[in-house]
């Protein structure tokens, strides 16, 4: 089927799929502090994630990114929410947010950055990516089988991140 037959056109929104996983051990979350040489999010804390590669489904991507960035092989990932991000161009981001529980494996850092266990209640004391203080509590409180959260991010004319969430 052609792009036109699929309804693909320049007047419709296109997205790049990405995954973001938060691994919890009790009240602690495993975060990565972006390496100083990273183009995006250098020296900022974030969950574990990245792009969905061509030919890969979202769950496989989340598992792969988790393995690449932490050395963990956690199969039991729970989808907690989906966020559409308007990046100010015809192509945006669709972010699939997963929750995992630490399974006791050894953690192996990668070149992406350093890994740290952080108390969920201490997140506000860190330099994080913009949305982490908003999205992390929703993921922490999400239970498998519950309704997902649905979100939308966009940037205000002054460059400030705006967020909107609903529980589905």
Domain range annotation of the chain: 19-100+111-167
* Tokens (6 digits) for 18: 């990405």
Q: What pLDDT is recorded for position 163? A: 92
Helix (H, G, I), strand (E, B) or coil at 63: helix
> Distances in Å between the alpha carbon of 13 and those of 3, 8, 9, 35, 164?
14, 9, 8, 32, 18
Q: What pLDDT is recorded for position 8? A: 67
Q: What pLDDT is recorded for position 39? A: 77
* Tokens (6 digits) for 65: 């990114």
Q: Which fold has domain 19-100+111-167?
A: Nucleoside Triphosphate Pyrophosphohydrolase (3.90.79)
pLDDT in 10s for each residue of the chain, 168 residues: 666 676 666 777 789 999 999 999 999 999 999 888 877 778 999 999 999 999 999 999 999 999 999 999 999 999 999 999 998 888 899 999 999 999 999 999 888 889 999 999 999 999 999 999 999 999 999 998 999 999 999 988 888 889 999 987
Question: Is 150:165 a contact under the CB 8 Å cutoff?
Answer: yes
Q: What pLDDT is recorded for position 7? A: 65
Q: What pLDDT is recorded for position 35? A: 81
Q: What pLDDT is recorded for position 3? A: 63
First to last CA, the chain: 32
Q: What pLDDT is recorded for position 61? A: 98
Count of C-beta atoms within a 10 Å radius of residue 115: 19
């Amino acid at each position: 089927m052609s792009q036109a037959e699929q309804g693909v056109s320049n007047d419709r929104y296109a997205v790049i799929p990405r995954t973001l996983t938060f691994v919890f051990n009790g009240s602690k979350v495993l975060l990565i502090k972006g390496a100083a040489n990273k183009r995006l999010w250098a020296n900022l804390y974030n969950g574990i994630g990245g792009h969905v590669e061509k030919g890969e489904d979202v769950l496989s991507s989340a598992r792969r990114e988790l393995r690449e960035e932490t050395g963990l092989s956690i199969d039991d990932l729970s989808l907690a929410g989906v966020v559409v991000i308007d990046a100010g161009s015809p192509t945006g981001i669709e972010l699939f947010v997963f929750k995992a529980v630490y399974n006791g494996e050894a953690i192996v850092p990668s070149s992406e950055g350093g890994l740290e266990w952080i108390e969920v209640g201490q997140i506000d004391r860190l330099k994080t990516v913009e949305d982490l203080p908003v999205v992390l509590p929703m993921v922490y409180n999400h239970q498998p089988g519950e309704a997902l959260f649905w979100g939308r991010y966009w940037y205000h004319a002054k460059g400030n991140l705006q967020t909107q969430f609903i529980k589905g």
